[in-house]
Amino acid sequence: MTFTGPPRGPAGMMKYVFFASAVLGLLYYLRLSALSATLGSTQSPIDTSLLSGTMSPQKPAAEPLHAQDPGSFPDTETSDHKNTHEFKPPVLVAPSSSAISSSSVSQISAAPSATTASTSPSSTAVSSILPSVAAASSVPASTSLKSPHPIDTLMERASKAQEDLLKKESHDLKSAAAAYRERRGRHPPPGFDVWYDFAKQNNAIMVEDFFDQIHHDLAPFWGLPPAVLRKESHAYDMTIHIRDQKAKTTSNWFWTEIWLNMTQSIEDMLPDMDLPLNSMDEPRISAPWEEVNRLVEIEKASRKMLPPNEIFSDFQKLPKEPDTDIPQRHKNFSDTRPYWQAAIRGCHPESPARKAQMLLHPINGTAPPLSLTHTVGHTYKGYVSNYTASTDFCGQPDLQALHGMFINPLSVSETKVFAPLFGGSKLPTNNEILLPAPMYWSEEERFTGGGATGGPWNNKTAQVIWRGVATGGKNNKDNWRGFQRHRFVAQTNGTKISNAEAWTEIPENWAMPTTQYNLAAQQDNRLGNWTAEWADTGFVDLMCDPPGENHLCNHTDPYYKILPGIKMAEQFQRKYLPDIDGNSFSGRYRGFLMSTSVPIKATIFREWHDSRLMPWLHFVPMDNRFLDFWGIMEYFLGYKSETMEVPAHDAEGEKIAIAGQDWANKVLRREDMQIYVLRLLLEYGRLNDDRRDNMGFVGDLVDSPA
């Protein structure tokens, strides 16, 4: 791949040929140095697992801790957490300042050209991924050795994992209760039979694994006394109160009203309890790993299988007000910034995040560090193979400079006191109890498409579409370069990429793909032109701090321009739908899954449905650095030029789109939300009961013949 250096004026032959050779040689050396620093240790794809258990913040990571990237995060941490490391612009090394034209700064929006990428289906997997950086950069994709593409391997593993998962399906109450006892180590909660009947009446697929998130969320609460739970659940302003199978609230916040409506739809099956709700986009409970681990150990010790005659199968009635003799713990909610300080409390003490140097943002207005060093534990040959680990920042300390939640959230009110609070999403280390998010239950058109799905795959345009607001937190003139949506929109702008290829512009907040992906377009020096053929991404509002007028922003106006909004139903006419975090999770995800397009998901947040979705079968996972995005798109769209051709995998894209939609219509329905919440609240009701250690459902055991 040839990179053109800065323009030079004509002169005498030999002298300037020698001069040009020297300059080009220097540029080539600098570029290789930058690529080497970026690649880190990614050449050894050690994580070949597609799925692993959730990396619980209460337990050490099962994988070995990876070495720190010395180019980004030194192992030594200063006592005052000050950043002493100077960050450099990512990947591309700048030519001399005189070579960069002042007119080369183009505004970012990635609208495709009239020419679209080839979408001819291909059942043949073509590998362009080579183990050696040097080999990858010198061997054209069309002549590389043929072997299964990593994505083919990941899709095959996903199908097998789904088959194995569905073998666990329960088809009657007895087998469902047995699966519960085997997986949870205790009897199911009282009302389990009512829950099971409700689920079967609504044609639910009954796999105990689907409810893992509930038990991950609730396990530490076995370490708090029931009286404390009741007291602190009742104390929030935004609370749903359930008494005598009636759910009510005194809050008129619209999220409360939506969650109340969801709770009222199953209230006739619920015991007395109070549900404190998080009114913010951002999570609020950030207890230290050491404390949560202590509580989880209590839960483990409480697991037992008492004989049926020692079990209570009813719930106690609760008074309207909790016991006044129970003291209220002070939560001391604070505005902790950067939020990274609070987020990593829940990481294991020996995790890379806890050991890495903490940055104090802003980082002097420089570009964020982009490295694949910390992706080794969750990728297979550059592509996400362990989706749970990819969302867990405890092993990825560089993400503190690559996500607005860590840099400067829109709002922060967090506490280190472990306490009950229900919410729609959280970070892996937060302690909220997850409910389906309000926008999923309300089915608002801007989050669902109003019932539209996009129609048949072959009628869609083979392009990527993304529109959104520049959210993610409070971006200002010093820190905006690290925000995830800004990075994604910038790196999908064909003009910007072409300028970087020509060395006329330095990436402000993104990086060129590494040679690990062996992209044909990059070898052709046409990555920008190729991206422009299929990427249609842009902001509809440059929201920032301080805010500008007419949806603009003084510090990002030179780099981005506003594009017209596109209704979700119209977006479904494109085949590929990236989903990028905003202030917290993206409320569009369920709508994307229920369409006939392919969701491409990058997130650091956890949601209620995570245990029931299979990456590479129902959606395409993407790393939060987005450096794998071009490789993903080359796999699905292919590439063709005069010198090389990479076949498209259109049929594989259609397979994921249809499988995802079919599965979402089976496990992400409103009925599935009711089933999930009913199960969750039966578990939570038991936790609030003073007799909880001796409570459970044992009807299947009593009714069994001797």
Position 367 scores a pLDDT of 84
Percent helix, strand and coil across the chain, each to the nearest 5: 40, 10, 50
Position 145 scores a pLDDT of 52
The answer to whether the pTM exceeds 0.85 is no
Lowest-confidence range among 94-103, 168-177, 181-190, 494-503?
A: 94-103
Whether 386 has a pLDDT exceeding 50, the answer reads yes
Are 675 and 619 members of one domain?
no
Are 463 and 319 members of one domain?
no
Alpha carbon distances (Å) from 378 to 60, 368, 386, 534, 541: 16, 21, 5, 28, 33
Are 592 and 683 members of one domain?
no
Within a domain: residue 137? Answer: no
Whether 181 has a pLDDT exceeding 50, the answer reads yes
Higher pLDDT, 640 or 86: 640
Instruction: Compute how many other C-beta atoms are within 10 angstroms of the C-beta atom of residue 115.
Output: 10
Residue-wise pLDDT for 215-236, tens only, equals: 999 999 999 999 999 999 998 8
Higher pLDDT, 276 or 90: 276
**Averaged over 530-543, what is the pLDDT?**
99
Are 603 and 697 members of one domain?
no
Within a domain: residue 244? Answer: yes
Whether 42 has a pLDDT exceeding 80, the answer reads no
Q: Are 593 and 664 in contact (CB under 8 A)?
A: yes
Q: Are 632 and 622 in contact (CB under 8 A)?
A: yes
Rg (CA), the chain: 27
Q: How far apart are CA 612 and CA 606, in angstroms?
A: 12
Are 505 and 654 members of one domain?
yes
Alpha carbon distances (Å) from 368 to 112, 509, 514, 554, 573: 27, 6, 16, 20, 34
User: Which residue's entry shows tokens 């496990």?
Assistant: 667
Q: Provide the mean pLDDT of the chain.
A: 84
Q: Are 371 and 84 in contact (CB under 8 A)?
A: no
Are 559 and 697 members of one domain?
no
Within a domain: residue 246? Answer: yes
Whether 17 has a pLDDT exceeding 50, the answer reads no
Task: Give the list of residues 6+ apart from residue 306 with CB closer than 8 angstroms, or none.
Answer: 187, 694, 696
Are 688 and 637 members of one domain?
no
Within a domain: residue 215? Answer: yes
Full domain range(s) for residue 320: 172-276+287-326+670-705
Within a domain: residue 675? Answer: yes
Q: Are 390 and 378 in contact (CB under 8 A)?
A: yes
Position 308 scores a pLDDT of 97
Query: 54-85 burial, b for 16+ CB within 10 Å, e for fewer?
Result: bbbbbebbebeebebbebbbeeeeeeeeebee
pLDDT bin (cut points 50, 70, 90) of residue 703 is low
Within a domain: residue 558? Answer: yes
Are 555 and 676 members of one domain?
no
**Averaged over 315-326, what is the pLDDT?**
91
Instruction: Name the helix (H) or strand (E) containing 600.
Output: strand 598-602
Lowest-confidence range among 125-134, 165-174, 428-437, 515-524?
A: 125-134
Alpha carbon distances (Å) from 134 to 2, 130, 137, 140, 151: 14, 9, 5, 12, 22
Whether 116 has a pLDDT exceeding 50, the answer reads no
What percent of the chain clears pLDDT 90, i.e. is strictly above it?
Answer: 74
Residue 142 identity? S
Are 192 and 310 members of one domain?
yes
Whether 9 has a pLDDT exceeding 50, the answer reads no
Q: How far apart are CA 423 and CA 276, in angstroms?
A: 9
pLDDT bin (cut points 50, 70, 90) of residue 448 is confident
Number of domains in the chain: 2
Counting other chains too, the contacts that 356-359 makes at CB distance below 8 Å and 24 or more residues apart are: 356/68, 356/73, 356/74, 356/75, 356/77, 356/397, 356/400, 357/73, 357/74, 357/75, 357/76, 357/77, 357/78, 357/81, 357/83, 357/84, 357/85, 358/77, 358/81, 358/83, 358/400, 359/83, 359/400, 359/401
Q: How far apart are CA 504 and CA 6, in angstroms?
A: 7
Cis peptide bond prior to 436, omega within 30° of 0:
no
Q: Which two tokens stand for residue 349?
A: 């003490």
Q: Which two tokens stand for residue 351?
A: 């995790």
pLDDT bin (cut points 50, 70, 90) of residue 48 is very low
Within a domain: residue 653? Answer: yes
Are 523 and 652 members of one domain?
yes
How does DSSP classify residue 560? Answer: B
Within a domain: residue 152? Answer: no
Position 451 scores a pLDDT of 85
Residue 591's CATH number: 3.40.50
Q: 433 pairs with which residues across the strands?
A: 422
Within 13 Å and on the Cβ side, how many CA atoms surround 86? Answer: 0
Whether 100 has a pLDDT exceeding 50, the answer reads no
Position 571 scores a pLDDT of 98
Residue 574 phi/psi, 5-degree rounding, is -100, 155
Are 592 and 693 members of one domain?
no
Are 466 and 581 members of one domain?
yes
Whether 49 has a pLDDT exceeding 60, the answer reads no
